[in-house]
Chain A
Amino acid sequence: MSISTSTTPAGSRRAWRSGVRWAPYVFLAPFVTLFLVFLVAPIVTALYTSFFSVERSGLGFGNANESVFVGFDNYVRAFSHTGFITSFGRVLLFGIVQVPVMLTLAIALALLFDSATVRWKRFFQLSVFIPYAVPAVVATLLWGFLYQPRVSPIVELLQSIGVSVDFLAPGTVLWAIANVSIWSVTGVNMIIIFAALQTVQRDVYEAARIDGASELRMALQIKLPMVLPAVFLTTLFSIIGTLQLFNEPMTLRSVTSNVTGDYTPNMAVFSATTLGGNLNLGSAMAIILGLVTFALSIIVSVASNRRKGAAA
């Protein structure tokens, strides 16, 4: 595909060749600049900040604060920060339940939409996808009302059949958050898997159908394996999303006090950065969270590649 080897009249060649040489750099310049300033530089800044600590020097004269190099002190403090560590366990529990439930629902819906079983496909697809257009904060505000006993028609309905639930109790609030995120993101995952299903050549199914395979068996044994790459992609994004959990629990704090300030790792980073006023500790926490996310993404990618290799 090398451009310089292509055949062109010799005269115009020189003129466009210099253009060809520079064009990609010019085209990439905005992205690379922004990438360096707002992706690389922040990480470097955070890394740098995480190795320092602000200490008050002298006897309070002139308010002189000094940055002192403290090595891994902030990391040690982050790891001994009970709230921060507990929050990892919490999102792990959240992910173990939310990711499989959401993906199963998304896969089931995608397979249903791809089969002839369902009518009004466009309407139902749109209704599953619409919540994705509702920002997480607004979705949480909305569900927040549906969880509050004083306003919620759902609590009301349940009470009328003799079930009393408190969606916002300490033990259940995590699942109340999981519900909001399932509501929000099932649609987009369904669309991704559905789109993958659509690219499969139809005649693959014919043979199976002639062999008398049922619709369900075809869905699970033929269609699903063919879209595994898309399923892995959605799994990867869901796991990353889980570790980053912030918008929903943070917003739900306005409705319940059962969501603490360091409920998720990201919220712990946030509160260390703002309320705690310790930018250095917050930076160390952000770096740890970034590393954990990165490591987990790599593990999932490797696992998915291995599966793909085994399947091929």
Chain B
Amino acid sequence: MSHTTTSTSRPAGHLSGARGARLRQARPKVHPQGERPSRRARLLGWIFMIAVGLYFLAPVYWLIVASTKSTGDLFSTPGFLFAEFNLWQNLVELSQRENGIFWRWMFNSLIYSGLGSVLMTFISVISGYALAMYRFRGRNVVLAAVIGSMLVPQTVLAQPTYTLLVNIGLNNTMLGVLLPSLVYPFGVMLGYIYAQSSVPQELLEAARMDGASEWRAFFSIALKLLSPGAVTILLFAFIGSWNNFMLPLLVLNDTRLQPVTVGLSGWSQAAITVPGLQTLVIVGALVSIIPIVIVFVSLQRYWRAGLAAGGLKL
């Protein structure tokens, strides 16, 4: 274990420090005595934080307010104040527009991002585990490829991927969006770091001596130890693929296959000539971020639970 630990802190020490920190130690909340700032510092701190809070939350607050307004009120009443409560009508209209295409988009996003990120996380964890726990021929090549490709962002790949998909006939299909997004080198890197720091080699060997197969050792022992790290990967993978815009825009012609982001931005474009569509863009935007916020908050709870359960002693 100690060997694994020291070797972790070298090659990608700052990465593990940054992302893995939350997992490693639950720090006591109480500050050491003496760290008591002056009254002026605290006042300035408050003013700064309130300004920051306003900046980051006001747009979200506006979105909620605007979602409850009719198109007429949207343009004629003060933006930050509630007017006549029209949210239910807006939702009904949102659901009925173009035979409920909005919900189809939400479903597509769920497939692309939900299913996609779960698969992405599994692939990342199992690959990171293999790289961390085994010494085998080709390991360095794979590691170098992972690190190198972390510097090649998805958007640069979008155009080449589109060209490839056209060549193999997968353009304008759901698989054409789903499959390319499963390549997630950053996730593999995180999986590698987490495996190094949280799966003791001795445990693996003990499992082998008990006659467990490699497969079994991974699924029934390592995966449990890796689950807090996996949640972190899942969060990044989910947000990353939910943000994926260029590839679906290139690949999908059929509006019924689009993720919600592409669909809404299409509506936003059409809103220039179609009155009333603006309200639907607003309500749609609100509805579309609710699942992410739920995923986000619930994963955060899981994180904290993982921290409390602990078990990760470095």
Contact = CB atoms under 8 A, between A and B. Distances in A.
Q: How large is the interface on A (under 10, 10 to 19, 20 to 34, 35 or more residues)?
A: 35 or more
A151 B59 CA distance: 13
Given A28-B142, A118-B45, A233-B18, A198 B25 contact: yes
Contacts of B243: 135-137, 247
Contacts, number: 307
B218 interface: yes
B4 interface: yes
A286 B161 CA distance: 11
Secondary structure dominating the interface of B: helix
A115 B48 CA distance: 14
A112 interface: yes
Nearest to A291: B156
Interface string B205-233: 10011010111001000000000000000
B290 to A, nearest CB: 10
Interface in B209-263: 209, 211, 213-215, 218, 239, 242-243, 245-246, 249-250, 261-262
B75 A251 contact: no
Interface in A114-170: 115-120, 123-124, 127-128, 130-139, 141-146, 150-154, 156
A35 B149 contact: yes
Contact of A39 (B25, B37, B142, B152): B152
Interface stretch (A42-50, A55-63, A89-97): A42-50
Contacts of A193: 18
B83 interface: no
B79 interface: yes
Contacts of A153: 62, 78-80
Contact of A41 (B164, B264, B265, B296): B164
B127 A28 contact: yes
A244 interface: yes
A291 to B, nearest CB: 9
A166 B156 CA distance: 32
Contacts of A51: none
Interface stretch (A4-12, A70-78, A79-87): A4-12
A247 B245 contact: yes
Interface string A168-201: 0000000000000001001100001101101100
A127 B56 CA distance: 6
A209 B208 contact: no
Given A35-B183, A124-B49, A196-B18, A209 B35 contact: yes
Interface string A1-40: 1110010110010001001111111111011101101110
Contact of B66 (A12, A127, A145): A145
Contacts of B25: 198-199
Interface residues of B, number: 110
A266 B75 contact: no
B159 A286 contact: yes
B115 to A, nearest CB: 15
B126 A30 contact: yes
A69 interface: no
A186 to B, nearest CB: 8
Interface of A: 1-3, 6, 8-9, 12, 16, 19-28, 30-32, 34-35, 37-39, 41-43, 45-46, 49, 105, 109, 112, 115-120, 123-124, 127-128, 130-139, 141-146, 150-154, 156, 183, 186-187, 192-193, 195-196, 198-199, 202, 205-206, 209, 215-216, 229-230, 232-233, 240-241, 244, 246-247, 250-251, 253-255, 266, 269-270, 273-274, 279, 282-283, 285-286, 289-290, 293-294, 297-298
Given A16-B208, A25-B136, A135-B288, 5 more contacts: A1-B7, A1-B135, A28-B131, A141-B285, A205-B35
19 contacts: A19-B214, A24-B134, A28-B130, A31-B188, A38-B164, A43-B152, A43-B160, A131-B59, A135-B261, A135-B292, A137-B262, A138-B285, A141-B268, A141-B281, A142-B60, A196-B14, A198-B22, A229-B14, A240-B151
